[in-house]
Chain A
Amino acid sequence: MTLAAAQNSVPLEHWLTLSGVLFTLGLCGVMMRRNVILVLMSVEIMLNAANVALVVFNKYLIANAPEGVALDGQVFVFFTIAVAAAEAAVALVIAMALFRRLDTVNVDDVANLRW
């Protein structure tokens, strides 16, 4: 995207609002959902909110200083995506073990360890 196009585009605040709304939605989901799978999906939404913020910040940094800014924010997103996939795989394996052993995916049912 060229400098002129970036300046003429959706302002940073709007993107950050989108990212903030996504992050809050994810956080609310984590706290309110009781199904492990849905909780994990909410966490993925939170991570994606961070990805949106990273990409947008990178785009605006380039627009403000076109000569010397790398694409490091967008490269970071590759890493978060890969890490999130690994995390999801491990989380689902443990959720499967939970279902097999305790026959539930409800986080309220796994509260034997307390105080």
Chain B
Amino acid sequence: MPSFAEIMSVYGLEFGLGALAMLLIVVDLITGRGRLTGPADVVRLLALGGVSGLLIYSFMFLHASGEVHAFGQLDAFALYFKRFFLATTLFTLLLTAPYEARFSGGRAEFPVLVLLTAMGMCMLSSVGDFVSLFVGLELVTISLFLLTAWRPGLPRSIEAGIKFVIIGAVAAAFLVYGIAFVYGATGALDFAGVSAAIQSMATMPAGLKFGLLLVLVGLGFKLGAVPFHIWIPDVYQGAPTPVTAFLSVGSKAAGVVLLMRLVYTVLGPAAAEWAGVLGGLAAITLLMGNLGAITQTDLKRFLGYSGIAHAGFLLLALAAHSEASASSILFYMVTYLFANMAAFLVIIVVSRTSDDSHMDRVNGLAERSPFLAFVLLVSMLSLAGVPPFAGFVAKFMILRAAMEAALHNPALYWIVGLSLVMVVVSLYYYLCVLKRVYFREPEDKGVLEISGSTKAILLLCVIATIGLAIFFNPLVESANAGAQSLMGALPQGH
């Protein structure tokens, strides 16, 4: 029986986020007199202040510990991702501010749901058993269902919501069914027990393989990997833009954190058998994402397909299965965060008047606002992986790790080759967007006014994207520490 202090030492941040969400509800109930439109400013400031406070707290006072409890652990890997999720949440709340006027109600509920999603995500980074994994994952998924359908007046928001709900619920059923078979084959629901049982087996029984495959597929849903990638374009396009940004970074990272924990820690040495499956999924995902993105005419949908392509890269790194590849995934996620948040904030600004995100909205953006055009340039080139930006360093790290791993597993060469071709393809479609920005005539020649706070956020993203390409060492070291704690601490048996 774990003590309260032990639980708080691992899940303290989650308690903080939960308490903050409860506080927002209470404040809304007291000040809002039960009406749906409460005082948004108080609630928003409380949410922003609370999340920033927790982020600062996590940097100053939280330290990774090697202790592995039955219910979870706060190793360097978990801490890295908790900070990442808090930063994502902070960005989402900041992105909501210029968008919020379009919500017709539920001003307190929106940040509350964002906070609860963040709580689930942070929980996922340190879970130690399948029960908490399932509960945390569903906390994330169910909150995101609601956030996706947050503009019920907009048919495409509801359509996105209903599609997300159906595919998400099926993925959850796959996950539980898979967990049931893993449980039946190993007799344990905690990661340490499952891992010990797998290592004691000479060969995996068919039931265990079946279960693990279903779990992988169910988690691939969050990541946007084949075969559960079909929700991504529709949901990205239909959801309110801040929610799309949250989904694209946070939900993907939630899938990544769980897949890494499972592949590196639970499967451990047995993961070599799974490199083929992961590599195959990576190849198909890369193809689907990159080829799908070429013909897109909607910016958010386009970024959805690009997100699938990025999921393919992450799966490639998972298939490589080395400490270097784990560390490269951690680095990749941070570069993805800054590039994506910048792109979505630009979309929010350019679609301010018409509420639609067709690519024509960025036509001639360079004339209307050179600053926004530059931000989009940096973001797109970083996503494509072009040298002076952080995305290049991240892609380079993944490919180098995959090439090293390919020495032992020659099949990986094919996937690395495919991914290189796909990088070229992706460069083409990212440049197509930039061509619109710099060489097309704008439909509306008026100068775009940007508020100071929006400018500050965009500037932060740009500085981070360029800065991480030059001064990548501190982040790489931190990512290495995370990867080491993930690889090094194979959980001991019961």
The 8 Å CB contact of B234, one of A69, A94, A101, A113, is A113
Is A87's CB under 8 angstroms from B162's CB? no
Q: Given A100-B152, A113-B156, A113-B237, verify A53-B181 contact (CB < 8 Å).
A: yes
CA distance in complex: A50, B181 (Å): 9
Interface of A is mostly: helix
Q: Given A94-B161, A95-B162, A110-B163, verify A72-B189 contact (CB < 8 Å).
A: yes
Give every chain A residue within 8 A of B188 (Cβ-Cβ): 72
CA distance in complex: A75, B130 (Å): 12
The 8 Å CB contact of B295, one of A39, A110, A115, is A115
Q: Which of B93-101, B166-174, B260-268, B332-340 contacts A (4 or more CB under 8 A)?
A: B166-174
Is A47's CB under 8 angstroms from B162's CB? no
CA distance in complex: A102, B184 (Å): 44
Q: Chain A's nearest CB lies how many Å from the CB of B226? A: 17
Q: Chain A's nearest CB lies how many Å from the CB of B70? A: 11
Interface residues of B in 173-199 (CB under 8 A from A): 173, 176-177, 179-181, 183-184, 187-189
Is A53's CB under 8 angstroms from B165's CB? no
CA distance in complex: A72, B183 (Å): 10
Is A80's CB under 8 angstroms from B134's CB? yes
- What 0/1 readout, one digit per residue, does chain B (366-381) give for beta carbons within 8 Å of chain A? 0000000000000000
Is A54's CB under 8 angstroms from B180's CB? yes
Q: Chain B's nearest CB lies how many Å from the CB of A21? A: 13
Can you name the residue of chain A whose Cβ is closest to the Cβ of B298? A113
Give every chain B residue within 8 A of A26 (Cβ-Cβ): 173
Q: Chain A's nearest CB lies how many Å from the CB of B211? A: 10
A47, A61, A97, A100: which has the most chain B beta carbons within 10 Å?
A97
The 8 Å CB contact of A76, one of B155, B159, B169, B189, is B189
CA distance in complex: A91, B164 (Å): 10
Q: Given A94-B158, A97-B158, A102-B155, verify A80-B176 contact (CB < 8 Å).
A: yes
Can you name the residue of chain B whose Cβ is closest to the Cβ of A109? B159
Q: Which of B141-149, B315-323, B397-405, B459-467 contacts A (4 or more CB under 8 A)?
A: B141-149
CA distance in complex: A50, B215 (Å): 12
Q: Chain B's nearest CB lies how many Å from the CB of A104? A: 10
CA distance in complex: A58, B183 (Å): 8
Q: Given A113-B159, A113-B160, verify A107-B166 contact (CB < 8 Å).
A: yes
Is B131's CB under 8 angstroms from A79's CB? yes
Q: Given A50-B176, A50-B177, verify A101-B138 contact (CB < 8 Å).
A: no
- What 0/1 readout, one digit per residue, does chain A (74-115) give for beta carbons within 8 Å of chain B? 011001100100110011011101101110000100111111
CA distance in complex: A72, B160 (Å): 36
Q: How many positions in chain B have a CB within 8 Å of any CB in the partner chain?
A: 41
The 8 Å CB contact of A87, one of B138, B233, B301, is B138
Is A101's CB under 8 angstroms from B153's CB? yes
The 8 Å CB contact of B176, one of A27, A47, A86, A102, is A47
Interface residues of B in 118-142 (CB under 8 A from A): 130-131, 134-135, 138, 142
CA distance in complex: A40, B165 (Å): 9
CA distance in complex: A27, B159 (Å): 21
Can you name the residue of chain B whose Cβ is closest to the Cβ of A105? B162
CB of B312 within 8 A of chain A? no
Can you name the residue of chain A whose Cβ is closest to the Cβ of B175? A50
Is A23's CB under 8 angstroms from B177's CB? yes
Interface residues of B in 224-254 (CB under 8 A from A): 233-234, 237-238
Is B149's CB under 8 angstroms from A73's CB? no
Give every chain A residue within 8 A of B169 (Cβ-Cβ): 40, 43, 87, 91
The 8 Å CB contact of B233, one of A36, A60, A113, is A113
Q: Given A43-B166, A61-B187, verify A91-B145 contact (CB < 8 Å).
A: yes
Interface residues of A in 1-27 (CB under 8 A from B): 19, 23, 26-27
Can you name the residue of chain A whose Cβ is closest to the Cβ of B188? A72
A36, A50, A98: which has the most chain B beta carbons within 10 Å?
A50
Q: Chain B's nearest CB lies how many Å from the CB of A94? A: 4
Q: Give me the interface of A with B, judged by CB distance under 8 Å.
A: 19, 23, 26-27, 30, 36, 39-40, 43, 46-47, 49-51, 53-54, 57-58, 60-61, 65, 69, 72-73, 75-76, 79-80, 83, 86-87, 90-91, 93-95, 97-98, 100-102, 107, 110-115
A-B contact pairs, 15 of them (CB 8 A): A40-B169, A46-B173, A50-B177, A54-B180, A61-B184, A72-B131, A73-B189, A76-B130, A79-B131, A79-B134, A86-B142, A94-B146, A94-B161, A98-B158, A112-B159
Known: A72-B189, A91-B165. 7 other contacts (CB 8 A): A50-B173, A54-B180, A76-B131, A76-B134, A87-B169, A93-B146, A101-B152
